[in-house]
Amino acid sequence: MEKEDKDLFFKNITTLNESDITSFQLFALKRHTIIVATIITILLCGLGAGLCFVNTYVGSAIIIAGIVGGAFFFPYLSREQIKKQNAVLFSGGKYVNEFDFYENHMKVTNIDEEREEDYYQTFEYQNIYKLVDFQDFIFIYVSKNQSFLILKTGMNKGTITELIDFLKNKNIKYVDKKSLGEIKKKK
């Protein structure tokens, strides 16, 4: 343990509440939500257009339902479902991950006060898929479909800028989405 602490370059302890986790999941599912919403819209609009030849009112109503349902209602329902699910799963509790960054690998420890032992995983940098910088968080993708969320303010050793530079130097693909979702003011 003593040697491991000496080799430690960066440390981050990320504590997330259910709202943070919901934001994380919504970001991760954004592409899926857009695709499903588009398919719903296209299918209902196509059905409505076909029915316009039989009954104009019914066809028009289905087209409107397709646009409203696919573009607005489905994304809203998805978001609310995730919020509800997280409220049940976490019920006011905290989700804590500790990230330790060494020369050739990172160690992610899930800290759970209810378990006797903490659960941890180790990932070699060469196997990390990409790094996404998004608002107050860093997403570290350990595969195309699995990522860890690091809160930028959770740094205990080193700074977030130094950590990002360190990971970039390990040839990890870096994607900057810091300004995504912000409203840009006109001068």
Q: State how far the Cα of 25 lies from the Cα of 33, in Å rounded to an integer.
A: 11
Parallel/antiparallel/unpaired status of strands 119-124 and 147-151: unpaired
Evaluate if residue 23 carries a pLDDT over 50.
yes
Q: State how far the Cα of 9 lies from the Cα of 162, in Å rounded to an integer.
A: 10
Q: Which of 137, 127, 122, 134 is nearest to 12 (CA)?
A: 137
Q: Give the model's pLDDT for residue 83.
A: 78
Parallel/antiparallel/unpaired status of strands 95-101 and 173-176: unpaired
Strand ranges of the sheet holding 147-151, from the earlier edge strand across to the other edge: 147-151, 137-141, 130-134, 173-176
The pLDDT of 51-79, averaged and rounded, is 83
Q: State how far the Cα of 94 lies from the Cα of 65, in Å rounded to an integer.
A: 40
Q: Give the model's pLDDT for residue 107.
A: 93
Q: State how far the Cα of 31 lies from the Cα of 85, in Å rounded to an integer.
A: 20
Q: Give the model's pLDDT for residue 93.
A: 66
Would the pTM of this model clear 0.85, i.e. be above it?
A: no
Q: Give the model's pLDDT for residue 170.
A: 92
Q: State how far the Cα of 10 lies from the Cα of 160, in Å rounded to an integer.
A: 9
Task: Give, in degrees to the nearest 5, the angle at Cα 162 between 104 and 171.
Answer: 45
What tokens were used for 182?
Answer: 């912000």
Evaluate if residue 26 carries a pLDDT over 70.
yes
Q: Give the model's pLDDT for residue 183.
A: 39
pLDDT tens by residue, 72-129 = 888 788 878 777 776 766 666 677 889 999 999 999 988 776 666 677 889 999 999 9
Q: Which of 183, 164, 182 is nearest to 172 (CA)?
A: 164
Q: State how far the Cα of 34 lies from the Cα of 137, in Å rounded to an integer.
A: 22
Evaluate if residue 1 carries a pLDDT over 60.
no
pLDDT tens by residue, 128-186 = 999 988 888 888 998 887 888 888 998 999 999 999 999 999 999 998 876 654 434 33
Q: Give the model's pLDDT for residue 168.
A: 92
Banded model confidence at residue 11, pLDDT cuts 50, 70, 90: very high
Q: State how far the Cα of 146 lies from the Cα of 24, in Å rounded to an integer.
A: 12
What tokens were used for 43?
Answer: 């299918």
The pLDDT of 15-25, averaged and rounded, is 74
